[in-house]
Structure 1
Amino acid sequence: MDKRYFSEEHELFRESLKSFLKKEVVPHVDKWEKDGVIERFIWKKFGDMGYFGLTYPSQYGGLELDLFYTVIFLEELQKINSVGFAAAMWAHMYLAMTHLNKEGDERIKQEYLASSISGEKIGCLCISEPFGGSDVSGMRTNAVKEGDYYILNGSKTFITNGVYSDYLVVAAKTSPELGNKGISMLLVDRETLGVSATKLDKLGWRASDTGEIAFDNVKVPVANLLGEEDKGFSYIMQHFSLERLIMAINAHARAEYALDYAINYMSERTAFGKKINEFQALRHKMVERTAEMEMCKEYNYSVTYKLSRGEYVVKEATMSKLLSTKMADEVIYDCLQMLGGYGFMEEYPMARLLRDSRCGPIGGGTSEILKEILSKIIIDKKTYKPAVEV
């Protein structure tokens, strides 16, 4: 336990969460992976345990705990060997709910944030588009105000919880002539006429429902505007730091899980009359990969600490995601190799872990986009400023 970041209360929470996941989630994971559907009962159980409310205000059912409880939550979710299940949980909890909490008015918080914390409502965040991907400013989805409604048209894709969620937090252009300065965030109920979703078939993250969503003349009440009109891009950018840090923490946690599993396997597997953890080439490979994982983990904790103190960490969080997701892919690749033929078998965890991890350098901003953002900060000396919180 690193006492700079984690107290005894944190560690008690970790142990409690581990036992909850082992009892309530692990027995169902293979079914959810196979079916591509996470059953609703588990969302309510997470809500009942307070997990969705870790960092949220108490007046809506939250626990107002520090960000290192979130670190523990993310780390342990990576170690049940279903990154898709983990993604469904954190996409609800930190992508959709963050916008409700930061930009939603009191009615929205009472009606949607509280029921999201309790696990009764599931949310998703809709930013990426079929023609845009990481190019947020190039989005085509638009919302035209007519009286008390916005008329929403367009499509979104690669949306985690995009099929089975109850509400959608949607980025749309309300003033297209302003480019990225004309984007607004709208809260859309799933049952609204004109909303449709198609489930996507993915390489990994198979337990989670990833959808392509279409909006066909959807009437969204003006009252469902989140924050101010045309301020959406700055809200998105502000919250991206948290998303990138989450994906970095996920990466170091699944790499750690893979290393623990592989090193334990190597201590039991015999070849040529000795345990394979006695072969120097294999020992050194595991040492190198462990060092890389520990370096990323330590840096991610440092960035979490800065973010928890209110620092604007767009540079650091971008670096965290860029390096940690690359590291995790390389670690898991080598850990699978240590298992030989068994690494390639679905009954062992590495095959699924390898597939699941591959989304790390893609989702939440591709590594290529992150490098360009960092180039602007490091080489062009560009500074990014936080949006004024509503």
Structure 2
Amino acid sequence: MATISTIPFAEPPYLRLPSPYYTPAHRAFQKKCRAFLWEHLISNASTWEKEGQVPDHVFRTFCQHNMLLPNLPAPLPVQWLHKLGIREILDVPVAEWDYMYTGIYCDELSRSGLAGPAASLNAGFAFGIPPIIKYGSAELQERVLPDLLTGRKRACIAITEPEAGSDVANITTTATKSDDGKYYVINGTKKWITNGIWSDYTTMAVRTGGPGAAGLSVVLVPLKGYPGVTMRKLQIGGSRTSGTTYIELDDVRVPVANLIGREGEGMRIIMTNFNHERLTIAVGVTRQARVALSSAFQYCLKREAFGKTLMDQPVVRHRLAKAGAELETMWAWLEQILYQLCHLSKEEADRQLGGITGLAKAKAGMVLSECAQCAVLLFGGAGLTQSGQGELVEAIYRDAPSARVPGGSEDVLLDLAVRQMVKIYQVQEKKLRQAKL
């Protein structure tokens, strides 16, 4: 339901307790956001996930109400939105949108506890469109953004390949210029592409130069019905509604005007785009953990074993407490990052928070695994069954690996975070030494 739950761990603390991060405007948006999402997504999410498809009309409804725009990085592209006649999102002026609104939205979007239904809607806005807004030429933006920002056409992002996932620098899909220099001729494969099967365009990482990161570029590639493009839907363990897709490209001719940024800038574009992707994933994953743990808490209050409720068993309370501490610590950290993003420039945030955001995304996956496993164990056999009172925690448990791999697999992000911390430290130490001279 759209009401605030009283079950322990079911809601982020700011909904019941004071918080320095949220204004009255943020709180008003949360109420409207929850009501909208309950009506148009959350109330049917479980049914649609079982069926493996979110109906097409849901995407159209969200776009009609500007409710996929919150997936874009903050601040929003106000000039473009005003040009398209878009001035507010549930009464919040687009010019006033900040990352605290983004955090509220991403948390509420995942309140079903299932990753798939939300992922079926938001991947293009969250990951595919932002590079066009930030790095695309004026001509490219004029050509595609009016349709993409209003949802008349759909987009996705295509980086991962069968042999190159988190190892972005070793992407092998090639983009070679035609003899007349007017086209990139693209050959290769992309795998595990969320929303690909429905997308008109994809923001794609390709190799335009030599080996390694310096040879990478980003190109906007047409998909549905485009000559040389073949797509098929993949069946994965969780997130059945996310439209995960395998894409094959056979001499696909794309105008050179579809280049995003400059040739050779692909690695930088991809890495900075990852920061927003990882943050939104972390917020949604943390809400999934919250749903799993609160479901277990509620179950333990009523389920009886050995002559008493599960909640009367000290070992059960201990397990809930351990998982709950991880959950609320994670949420507090995410609120801190969201607040910092509201007060840093994009360039400074990329520099200072890139590694931290990667670390937070990795940790959120660990927290989800802890909370989902806790819930399954406390539900017992019901937690292993895809029907009945434990079906939701069973589905969340299947989703857990999908939280720990996309956007950079867990071990890669842990290493990335420390390497970036070392880099920042070395730069700061150098500045201090120079200041003393």
Match of 1:105 among 115, 119, 137: 137
Superposition CA RMSD, Å: 2.0
Q: How far apart, CA to CA, are the structure 1 residues paired with 2:104 and 2:252?
A: 39
Partner residue of 1:388? Answer: none
Partner residue of 1:59? Answer: 79
Helix, strand or coil at the partner of 1:212: strand
Helix, strand or coil at the partner of 1:246: helix
Give the letter for the 2:255 counterpart: P
Q: How far apart, CA to CA, are the structure 2 residues paired with 1:44 and 1:126?
A: 23
TM-score by length of 1: 0.92
**Bigger CA drift: 12-21 or 311-320?**
12-21
* Unaligned segments of structure 2, at least 5 residues: 1-13, 87-93, 428-437
Partner residue of 1:350? Answer: 393
Helix, strand or coil at the partner of 2:151: coil
Partner residue of 2:5? Answer: none
Q: CA deviation at 1:364?
A: 0.9
**Bigger CA drift: 179-188 or 59-68?**
59-68
Q: Is the 8 A contact 1:247 1:325 kept in 2?
A: no
Give the letter for the 1:317 counterpart: T
TM-score by length of 2: 0.83
Return closer, same or farther for 1:268/1:108 CA change in 2, 3 Å cut-off.
Answer: farther
Q: Is the 8 A contact 2:208 2:264 kept in 1?
A: yes
Deviations along 1:319-355, one digit per CA (max 9) or x if unpaired, are 1012111111111100122222222222331011111
Question: Does residue 220 in structure 1 map to residue 254 in structure 2?
Answer: yes
Partner residue of 1:367? Answer: 410
Helix, strand or coil at the partner of 1:188: strand
Q: How far apart, CA to CA, are the structure 1 residues paired with 2:150 and 2:322?
A: 43
Partner residue of 2:164? Answer: 132
Partner residue of 1:337? Answer: 377
Deviations along 1:171-191, one digit per CA (max 9) or x if unpaired, are 1011125x2112111111223
**Percent identity between the aligned chains?**
29
Q: How far apart, CA to CA, are the structure 2 residues paired with 1:115 and 1:5?
A: 34
Q: How far apart, CA to CA, are the structure 2 residues paired with 1:255 and 1:174?
A: 41
**Bigger CA drift: 64-73 or 231-240?**
64-73
Q: CA deviation at 1:378?
A: 4.7
Helix, strand or coil at the partner of 2:246: strand
Q: Is the 8 A contact 1:205 1:356 kept in 2?
A: yes
Partner residue of 1:243? Answer: 277
Give the letter for the 2:135 counterpart: E
**Bigger CA drift: 293-302 or 13-22?**
13-22
Deviations along 1:263-308, one digit per CA (max 9) or x if unpaired, are 1222222233332212111112111111111111111111222233
Q: How far apart, CA to CA, are the structure 2 residues paired with 1:38 and 1:165?
A: 15
Q: CA deviation at 1:158?
A: 0.8
Aligned residues: 383
Q: How far apart, CA to CA, are the structure 2 residues paired with 1:129 and 1:142?
A: 12
Q: CA deviation at 1:30?
A: 3.9
Give the letter for the 1:220 counterpart: V
Q: Is the 8 A contact 2:113 2:289 kept in 1?
A: no
Q: Map of 1:90-101 to 2, 5 A cutoff? A: 90-101=122-133
Match of 2:218 among 179, 185, 204: 185
**Bigger CA drift: 98-107 or 110-119?**
110-119
Q: Is the 8 A contact 1:33 1:206 kept in 2?
A: yes
Question: Does residue 266 in structure 1 map to residue 309 in structure 2?
Answer: no
Partner residue of 1:275? Answer: 309
Partner residue of 1:323? Answer: 363
Q: CA deviation at 1:82?
A: 2.4
Q: State which structure, 1 or 2, has the greater radius of gyration over its C-alpha atoms.
A: 2
* Unaligned segments of structure 1, at least 5 residues: 385-390
Q: CA deviation at 1:89?
A: 2.8
Q: How far apart, CA to CA, are the structure 2 residues paired with 1:322 and 1:84?
A: 19
